[in-house]
């Protein structure tokens, strides 16, 4: 991420000023940073702190469930301008919804005003998912965020937890944890990068732009069989692939303020 961020700074230096052909003077294009606000809903109904452990939701399979925790990591916020130049912030943000921690995030990069395609990575991709590289992630209120070495090391992408009502009408806990997929069935650990890029679409960036990122939590369970997959998902290769696939429809662009 550091190399990418350095490239972005160099790119800004190249494009943020230009010669005025008439006067020979240099005109500077203002550079700004952009604030992101993360909001969370269940099929359009906002998830509030008071909803945790209290509100019952029905997922796509018809299973009734509650939510007790939503903590997730995003990284590599990237702005791509109309000329294809990329500005990668090279930092990350750990969102803890229930604690209302890091719901607002301003990447540490300044970019010229203009039109951009905005994207970020859910979790860390393999280039950045380096075991032990981010000790600050283990010093949050969430506790240890690292993944044990037998499961490939690196870091969690998400912990989404709660309870559901099973087919026998019992209340059962679930731990929907997302990490890099790992398979040790042959005796040799095989890893698959299950982070994914979220493309928010085109945004005009002005001097005070704010971007809302909406997470529809219901989409993590569309489709999903909680009765079959509710625990010990971290060493479950197929489950991790499915979590990554479900993530394709989870995030969307909300309100853009100028």
3-state secondary structure 38-103: EEEEECCEECCHHHCCCCCEECCCCCEECCCEEEEEEEEEEEEECCCCEEECCCEEEEECCCCECC
> Cβ distance 32 to 113 under 8 Å?
yes
Query: What is the C-alpha separation between 13 and 29, in angstroms, rounded?
Result: 10
> Cβ distance 88 to 8 under 8 Å?
yes
> Cβ distance 6 to 86 under 8 Å?
no
DSSP string, 229-254: SSS--TT-HHHHHHHHHHGGGTEEEE
Query: What is the C-alpha separation between 66 and 98, in angstroms, rounded?
Result: 13
Q: What is the pLDDT of residue 1?
A: 60
Q: What is the pLDDT of residue 30?
A: 81
In the block, which residue shows the tokens 């803890």?
96
> Cβ distance 117 to 80 under 8 Å?
yes
Query: What is the C-alpha separation between 45 and 216, in angstroms, rounded?
Result: 9
Mean per-residue pLDDT pooled into runs of 10, the chain (258 residues): 42 40 54 97 98 98 98 98 96 98 97 98 98 95 95 98 98 98 95 98 97 98 98 98 98 97
Which pTM does this prediction carry?
A: 0.90
> Cβ distance 178 to 151 under 8 Å?
no
Q: Give the residue extent of every domain in the chain.
A: 2-257
């Amino acid at each position: 991420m550091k190399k990418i961020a350095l490239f972005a700074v160099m790119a800004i230096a190249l494009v943020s000023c230009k010669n005025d052909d008439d006067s020979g003077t240099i005109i500077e294009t203002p550079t700004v940073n952009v604030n992101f606000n993360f909001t969370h809903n269940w099929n359009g109904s906002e998830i509030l702190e008071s909803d945790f452990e209290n509100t019952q939701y029905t997922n796509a399979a018809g299973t009734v469930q509650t939510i007790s925790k939503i903590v997730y990591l995003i990284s590599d916020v990237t702005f791509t301008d109309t000329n294809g130049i990329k500005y990668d912030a090279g930092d990350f943000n750990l969102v803890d919804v229930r604690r209302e921690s890091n719901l607002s995030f301003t990447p540490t990069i300044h970019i010229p005003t203009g039109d951009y395609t905005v994207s970020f990575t859910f979790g860390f991709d393999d280039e950045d998912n380096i075991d032990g590289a981010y000790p600050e992630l283990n010093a949050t209120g969430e506790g240890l965020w690292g993944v044990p070495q037998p499961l490939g090391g690196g870091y969690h992408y998400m912990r989404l937890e709660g309870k559901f009502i099973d087919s026998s009408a019992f209340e059962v806990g679930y731990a929907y944890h997302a990490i890099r997929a790992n398979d040790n069935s042959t005796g040799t650990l095989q890893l698959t990068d299950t982070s994914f890029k979220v493309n928010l679409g085109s945004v005009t960036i002005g001097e005070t732009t704010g971007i809302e990122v909406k997470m529809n939590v219901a989409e993590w369970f569309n489709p999903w069989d909680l009765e079959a997959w509710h625990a010990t998902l971290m060493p479950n290769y197929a489950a991790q692939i499915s979590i990554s696939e479900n993530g394709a429809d989870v995030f969307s662009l909300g309100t853009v303020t100028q």
